Amino acid sequence: MQISTEEMAGGITRVALDGRLDIAGAALVDLKMNVIAGSSRKLLIDLQNVSFLGSMGLRSIVLPARAVLGRGGKVVLFAPSEMVQSVIKTSGIDSLLPIHHDLAAAVAALQ
């Protein structure tokens, strides 16, 4: 599991996750996700290279997202695969963390 960040125009932090967000993957990214969430108000979570998402991985997304939303910030989920998107929709978190497959739309949603 890899995690990388990029500062985009407009004060957006793009955090790209790469690999399996299972219990082992979640443990590898949790700390860094929380640090990123602590300093970001516009967070784009790039899921396009996430090949697996389980409920422990959902926690790795929800807890930092809650921190950002709690400070009045915004969070969007970007480009999950069909199966990963199905996990997200089953959990219901997409009602507060919208999913976008188009980068321009994801960026616009954060403005």
Partner 1 sequence: MSPYELLAASMATQDTLQPAPRLILQSRLSEIALLWPWVEALAAEYAMPSDTLFAVHLCLEEAVSNIIRHGYGEQPGHRITVDFSQENASSLFFAIEDQAPPFDPLGHPAVPAMPAAESIDRLEPGGHGIRLLRRFAGSLGYQRLANGNRLIIRFPIYR
At residue 104, the 3 state secondary structure works out as helix
CA distances from 75 to 22, 23, 24, 65 (A): 21, 23, 24, 6
- Nearest Cα to Cα of residue 34 among 64, 70, 55: 64
Q: Which of 62, 85, 98, 103 binds partner 1 (CB under 8 A)?
A: 62
20, 41, 85, 103: which one binds partner 1 (CB under 8 A):
20
Output the smallest distance, CB 99 to partner 1, in A.
14
Binding residues for partner 1 (CB under 8 A) = 20, 22-24, 51-56, 58-59, 62-63, 65-66, 69-70, 83, 86-87, 90-93, 95-97
